[in-house]
Chains A and B, each alone.
Chain A
Amino acid sequence: MAHTSVIDALEAADVTHVLGIPDNTSGPLFDALGRHPSIRLVIVTREGEAFAMASGLWLGGARPLVVVQNTGLLEAGDALRGTAVRMGAPIPIVITGRGYPKMRAAGLGPETPKTPELMTRPDVDSVALVTEPTLDAWGIPFEVCATGDDPAAAVAALVHRALHRECPCALLVTTDLV
């Protein structure tokens, strides 16, 4: 993607603030947003902070979007549950998916039973195994944006879905953003 097309989608969806912590996938998007004339980028210190701040922004009438890696999503569990979910705040969440190439290369998927042996295997990044089951458990509706999908269209649909359902919704990006 061209991250410019994702930014076009954010502009078209009237997103006012993007909050989160960059990773190698989302870094170029953060770089571009840092130069954007109207969408305000807020880099936070911990992912839970992004969900609480985004919920506050929504209370104030803004339209925020959160960008975090799946590792940070796990760290932020109660912040997400206790703010956006409990408030019914329509926060779109873009989750960059660490560990998916390794998981696929090992012939595994989110549905694979999580045995202690599997979770300690050195050739598997366990975060990919637990991301989708965690979103299910937390009641966060999500779609996956994989190789061949259009990230800009997926982000546009994500914002629409969150607003329509009046709850936080996620887009799990398992391919490169750029």
Chain B
Amino acid sequence: MLSRSEFLEPLARHRTNEVVVTTMSVTRPWGRLSDHDLDFASADSAMGHTADLALGIALARPDRRVVCLNGDGSMLMTLGTLATAAASGAENYLLVVVENGTYEITGHQPIPGAGRLDFTAMARGAGFRAVHRFDRADAWAEAVPELLRAPGPTFASAIVERTGEGPISRTTREEARYLRASLADWSRTLRAALRNS
């Protein structure tokens, strides 16, 4: 099992100009590691609709890698997106499901099927070009550069420890810059960053 920092730090270290879309329990920790106009928090947003939103960005900008850090509970809400993403053939799309088996930000209630689900089997069955599972920090850290380069659509499952992230808000009290703006304002920040790069 990876700690939250063992999961996020290699991504932050190797990330260059990729769009990174976060949701739920990794939203704040990623915002503490990264302060980039190409980050997007799917927060104060539609629950469960992060992987599909990120897929839309990837289809609009095939020249730009899009990394989606999704939750396992969030993924369960829109499993159909696995089929849509695989069918899209988006080579620039990397979908990572952060598996901790719970709805963490509401207090660690178990997700349906916790401990029995195999997201990699689902992704493989949906037709993802490349599917990976990581439960060791060294293997993950070693794989990140290639995951950010290899043609996708790529799916990765990361087994990550439970922490204590509480509900996410968009207020000026948040430490992460991408959470201090409204969803509408940050959407325009990301659009401008993509338009100008």
In the complex the two chains form, is B49's CB within 8 Å of A60's CB? no
In the complex the two chains form, is A49's CB within 8 Å of B81's CB? yes
Asked if A56 is an interface residue, CB under 8 A from chain B, the answer is yes
Asked if A17 is an interface residue, CB under 8 A from chain B, the answer is yes
Residues of A within 8 A of B (CB): 16-17, 40, 42, 44-46, 48-49, 51-62, 64, 78-83, 86-89
In the complex the two chains form, is B191's CB within 8 Å of A49's CB? no
Which residues of chain B have C-beta atoms less than 8 A from A54's C-beta?
A: 56
Closest to A77 in B: B46
Alpha-carbon separation in the docked complex, A113 to B116 (Å): 47
Closest to A48 in B: B49
In the complex the two chains form, is A82's CB within 8 Å of B46's CB? yes
Which residues from 14 to 68 on chain B have a C-beta closer than 8 Å to any C-beta of chain A?
A: 40, 44-47, 49-50, 52-61, 64
Closest to B45 in A: A82
Q: How far is the CB of B74 from chain A (nearest CB, A)?
A: 11
Which residues of chain B have C-beta atoms less than 8 A from A52's C-beta?
A: 46, 49-50, 52-53, 56, 78
In the complex the two chains form, is A53's CB within 8 Å of B52's CB? yes
Asked if B88 is an interface residue, CB under 8 A from chain A, the answer is yes
Which residues of chain B have C-beta atoms less than 8 A from A46's C-beta?
A: 78, 80
In the complex the two chains form, is B84's CB within 8 Å of A56's CB? no
Which residues of chain B have C-beta atoms less than 8 A from A59's C-beta?
A: 40, 53, 56-57, 60, 187, 190-191, 194
Alpha-carbon separation in the docked complex, A5 to B80 (Å): 32
Asked if B139 is an interface residue, CB under 8 A from chain A, the answer is no
Closest to B40 in A: A59
Closest to B49 in A: A52
Residues of B within 8 A of A (CB): 40, 44-47, 49-50, 52-61, 64, 78, 80-81, 83-84, 88, 183-184, 187, 190-191, 194-195
Which residues of chain A have C-beta atoms less than 8 A from B84's C-beta?
A: 42, 44-45, 49, 53
In the complex the two chains form, is B80's CB within 8 Å of A44's CB? yes
User: Closest 4 A-B residue pairs measured CB to CB?
Assistant: A56-B56, A60-B60, A82-B46, A45-B80
The SS class assigned to the A binding surface is: helix
From B47, B187, B194, A89 is in contact (CB under 8 Å) with B187
In the complex the two chains form, is B184's CB within 8 Å of A53's CB? no
Alpha-carbon separation in the docked complex, A6 to B11 (Å): 44
In the complex the two chains form, is A60's CB within 8 Å of B194's CB? yes
Q: If A45-B83, A48-B78, A62-B60 touch, does A53 touch B187 (CB 8 Å cutoff)?
A: no
Closest to A53 in B: B56
Q: How far is the CB of B62 from chain A (nearest CB, A)?
A: 9
Which residues of chain A have C-beta atoms less than 8 A from B49's C-beta?
A: 48-49, 51-52, 79, 82-83
Closest to A60 in B: B60
From A56, A58, A78, B52 is in contact (CB under 8 Å) with A56
Which residues of chain B have C-beta atoms less than 8 A from A49's C-beta?
A: 49, 52, 78, 80-81, 84
Alpha-carbon separation in the docked complex, A40 to B84 (Å): 14
Closest to A79 in B: B46
Alpha-carbon separation in the docked complex, A98 to B81 (Å): 26
Alpha-carbon separation in the docked complex, A52 to B53 (Å): 5
